Amino acid sequence: MKKYEGHVIGRVVEGSIAEELNIEQGDVLLKINDQELEDIFDYQYLVQDEHLDVLVKKKNGEEWLLDIDKDLDEELGIEFENGLMDDYRSCSNKCIFCFIDQMPKGMRETLYFKDDDSRLSFLQGNYVTLTNMSDADIDRILKYHLSPINISFQTTNPELRCKMLGNRFAGEALKKVDRLCAPGTGIEINGQIVLCKGVNDKEELTRSIRDLTRYIPNLQSVSVVPVGLSKYRDGLYPLEPFNKEDACEVINEIESWQKKVYSEHGIHFIHASDEWYFLAGRDFPQEERYDGYIQLENGVGMMRLLITEFNEALEAAILNCGEHIKNLRRNISFATGKLVYPAIKELVEKAMELCPGLECTVFEIINEFFGERITVSGLLTGQDIIKQLSDKSLGEMLYLPENLLRSGEDYLLDDVRVRDIEKALSVPVGITKCDGHYLVATLFDIPVEDTFSDM
C-alpha cells in the first residue's frame, strides 16, 4: 500500500481563510481534525464543520497545526493539484463493446485510459460498471450521500453481464445496486444500456428494463444507446451494426415500456438515444417525454432540445433584431457529423428563408478516421475536416460544433488544432455551442441574449 503523504495544494483562493493563514501553493495538506484524507470527498465532508484543526506541511518541511473557527459550510479556499486528490481507478473489464479498444495506435496516451471510478461518476457524470467498487466504496457513497451515480448496466442477466464485460464478477456486482437503492438512502441513479445486436437486445432488453423498474424511484432513468463500431476491430468480439428495422424494434419496445412506467410512476424512465430515431427515420419524441432531459449528456433528447430552442430563438431574434436580419448580408458554412447533418441542414434552411441575405452551406463530414459507422460529431477529427473541405467554398467563416474539442481545449481528437484547420483551409474558424440559441445567434451574427424573449 502506498504511504500516505498528504495532498499538494495547487491554488489558494484570494481573500480566503487559507490565504489569511499563509497557506501557500505547494504546501501539503496532511490532516483535518486528525484524520487523513483519501480523496476530495473526505475533504469536502470534513471542512463543513465550524471548528477545524488543520495540519499543513510547508514547503520548507515545517508542519503547522492551524486552529480554525469558521461559519458552517464556509470554504477554506484550497484547491489541489490533483482535483480528485487520489489516483484515478482504471477499468478492469474487457468489455466486448469498449470503444477504447477500437482506437488506432499512435494517438495521445490519455485517450487510452479506461476509467471506472465511482467518484468520477459523481464529479463528472462518468458511467461506472460497479465491478471496481468494494463494499467500503458503497459505504462511503452512502455516508457522504454521493448522488447522482451513473451506472452502466448493459444487462441484468448476471451470466450475460459477465460475458459482455469480460469480468467473472460483473454479474455479482449488480447486487451493489440493492444497497444503493435500499429504502431511505436517497441515492439517485441514472443508468445506461449499451445495446449490442444479437447479444443484449430483444428478449434480453425486455428483461433488463423489467428488472430495472424495481429500482424506481432511486433509479430515475435508463438510456439505451447503440454500440459504436469503428473500423479498428480486428481480433475483437464480432459485433454487427443495427439497421433501420432493428432501430424501429428497439424504439417500439422502449416506447411501450414508457407508457407502462409512466402510468405507474409518473416518469418515462427508459429512453432511446437520438441515434435510434435517426436510424429508424422517425420523428423525435415531444419534449415532455424526456423527463426534463435527464439523460441529455448521453445523447437522449439532444435533437429535440436543439429544435425546440432553435424555434424559440428564431422568433425572439426576429422580434429583437428584425431590422438587422432584414439587412444582413453574410456567407458562411457549418461542418458537422453524418448523424445530425440532415437536422442541422433543415434548421439552417429555415433561417435562410427568413433572411434572404444569409447564405450558409452545411457540410456533412464522413468519419474516415474511425470508419463510416461512427457518425456522431464529437468523434470527428481535424484531418477528416481538412481533407473533405479542402476544395469547398466555405464563405467568410467556417463554424464547427463545440463538442469536437477536447475538454475545452482548442484541439480535436487527433491533436489537430483549430488554427491548423484555419491555415489548411484558408478561412477563419469559429466554434459554436451545441444549442439552438447559439445556432441562431451564430447564423444571424447577433448577441445570444437577443435570441431570448421575455414574452
The string of pLDDT tens digits covering residues 354-375 is: 999 999 999 999 999 999 999 9
Query: CA geometry: angle at 57 spanning 55 and 58, to 5°?
Result: 130
pLDDT for the residue numbered 87? 64
- Tell me how far apart the alpha carbons of residues 432 and 413 are, in angstroms, rounded to a whole number: 17
More confident residue, 223 or 91: 223
Instruction: Give the DSSP letter of residue 402.
Output: G
Count Cβ atoms below 10 Å from residue 179 Cβ, excluding itself: 14
- Tell me how far apart the alpha carbons of residues 383 and 381 are, in angstroms, rounded to a whole number: 5
CA 316 to chain centre: 29
Average pLDDT over residues 272-287: 96
Q: Do 104 and 126 form a contact (C-beta atoms < 8 A)?
A: no
What are the C-alpha distances in Å from 329 to residues 325, 396, 400? 9, 11, 21
* Structure confidence at residue 446 as a pLDDT band (50, 70, 90): very high
More confident residue, 136 or 90: 136
129: its cell numbers? 460498471
Smallest CA-to-CA distance from 148 within 114, 92, 190, 204 is with 190
% the chain with pLDDT above 90 = 73
| b/e map 123-148, b = 16+ CB within 10 Å | eeebbbbbbbbeeebbebbbeeebbb
The chain-wide mean pLDDT, for the chain, equals 91
- Tell me how far apart the alpha carbons of residues 70 and 47 are, in angstroms, rounded to a whole number: 10
Count Cβ atoms below 10 Å from residue 153 Cβ, excluding itself: 23
Smallest CA-to-CA distance from 246 within 200, 213, 208 is with 200
* Structure confidence at residue 83 as a pLDDT band (50, 70, 90): low
Average pLDDT over residues 432-451: 94
pLDDT for the residue numbered 88? 62
Is the pTM above the cut of 0.95? no
Instruction: Give the DSSP letter of residue 286.
Output: P
58: its cell numbers? 510547508
pLDDT in tens, 129-155: 888 888 888 888 888 888 888 899 999
- Tell me how far apart the alpha carbons of residues 50 and 68 are, in angstroms, rounded to a whole number: 8
CA-based torsion, 389, 390, 394, 397: positive or negative: positive
Residue 430 pLDDT greater than 60, yes or no: yes
Cell 477504447 belongs to residue: 100
- Tell me how far apart the alpha carbons of residues 68 and 53 are, in angstroms, rounded to a whole number: 6
Q: How many CA atoms lie within 13 A of 418 on its CB side?
A: 18
| b/e map 280-297, b = 16+ CB within 10 Å | beeebbeeeebbeebbee
Tell whether omega for the bond before 148 is within 30 degrees of 0, i.e. cis.
yes
pLDDT for the residue numbered 115? 60
pLDDT for the residue numbered 86? 60
36-40, 226-230, 253-257, 419-423: lowest mean pLDDT where?
36-40
Q: Which residues contact 250 (CB under 8 A, 6 or more apart)?
A: 195, 201, 205, 224, 242, 272, 276
371: its cell numbers? 470508419
- Tell me how far apart the alpha carbons of residues 289 and 286 are, in angstroms, rounded to a whole number: 6
Residue 265 pLDDT greater than 90, yes or no: yes
pLDDT for the residue numbered 1? 57
pLDDT for the residue numbered 279? 95
65-74, 230-239, 391-400, 427-436: lowest mean pLDDT where?
65-74
Smallest CA-to-CA distance from 229 within 277, 275, 172, 282 is with 275
- Tell me how far apart the alpha carbons of residues 11 and 291 are, in angstroms, rounded to a whole number: 39
Average pLDDT over residues 153-162: 97
3-7, 114-118, 304-308: lowest mean pLDDT where?
114-118
CB neighbour class for 452 (10 Å; exposed up to 12, middle 13-18, buried from 19): middle
Average pLDDT over residues 256-272: 97
Residue 309 pLDDT greater than 50, yes or no: yes
pLDDT in tens, 205-219: 999 999 999 999 999
- Per DSSP, the three-state class of 316 is helix
Average pLDDT over residues 120-132: 69
pLDDT for the residue numbered 119? 57
pLDDT for the residue numbered 5? 83
pLDDT for the residue numbered 455? 47
pLDDT for the residue numbered 124? 55
pLDDT for the residue numbered 84? 60
